[in-house]
Structure 1
Amino acid sequence: MGFRAQLVTLGQRFKQEVLFYRALLAHPQTPWLAKALLWLALAYLVLPFDLIPDFIPLIGQLDELVIIPLLLYLALKLIPVTIRQACRDAVAAEQDQK
């Protein structure tokens, strides 16, 4: 598999994950705490505020690599498996229609 094909696959996977998290946020049975953690992860990614400033070498860049996955992990642990699977199935069905 060439580099370009790997990039295309990675891009498609990223798009599926974004759609999955959007579906989780829109699902009426998703617990409010899980929704809050997902919004917090998005805000931490997008907003210019950091717990550890980026100008501190190495540690400044690593905080995003630790905090955002931790927030996503905690949110997913709070969401029942049936809701997660329903959202994954909905995203897969939407992708198949295109």
Structure 2
Amino acid sequence: MALATLKTQAHQIKKHTLTVFFAARDPRTPVVVRLLAALVAAYALSPIDLIPDFIPVIGYLDDLLLVPLGLALVVRLTPPAVMKSAQLQAERAARQPISYTAAAVFVLIWGFLVWMFASWVFNAVRS
């Protein structure tokens, strides 16, 4: 598979993730679908994976299977009018520059969680 094809597919997944994010924020979307959409979008946009990418083969499994399956499920369960509106919002958002503030918030949250886990492990080992 060519690098250009992979880049195109990655761009499409990003666009679908943004679409699902905007669909989750729409009040016309059923509550259960909104929750599922928020979880899928948060997982897809988070820099931290359920299975770390450095683990051979299965590390990329969540990115290649879980995210697209979650996106497909949300798209299927979301009303068509909501999806159309969300797609338009996603296209507008994709043209805007990257948010470094959002990236900093993610880094701070994950850094805090790592620090808490490390403190817990250190205290458990010391005891």
The residue that corresponds to 2:24 in the other structure is 25
Size of the aligned set, in residue pairs, is 87
Larger radius of gyration: 2
d(CA) in 2 for partners of 1:86 and 1:34? 16
2: CA distance, partners of 1:34 / 1:58: 30
Question: TM-score scaled to structure 2, two decimals?
Answer: 0.49
Alpha-carbon offset, residue 83 of structure 1: 1.8
Which structure 2 residues correspond to residues 15-94 of structure 1 after superposition, within 5 A?
17=16, 19-45=18-44, 46=46, 48-50=48-50, 52-88=51-87, 90-91=88-89
5+ residue gaps, structure 1, are none
Higher relative contact order (CA 8 A, sep 6+): 1
RMSD: 3.5
TM-score scaled by length of structure 1: 0.60
Q: Secondary structure at the match of 2:55?
A: coil
Report the AA paired with residue 91 of structure 1: Q
Unaligned 5+ residue runs, structure 2? 97-127
Shift of 1:17: 4.5
- Given that residues 25 and 34 in structure 2 are in contact (C-alpha distance below 8 angstroms), is that contact kept between their aligned partners in structure 1? no
Please list the CA deviations of residues 47-71 of structure 1 after superposition, one character each: whole Å capped at 9, or x if unmatched. 6351x44343111112221001111
- Percentage identity across paired residues of the two chains: 31
Runs of 4+ in 1 over 6 A off after TM superposition: none
Is the CA contact (8 Å cut-off) linking 1:34 and 1:74 kept in structure 2?
Answer: no
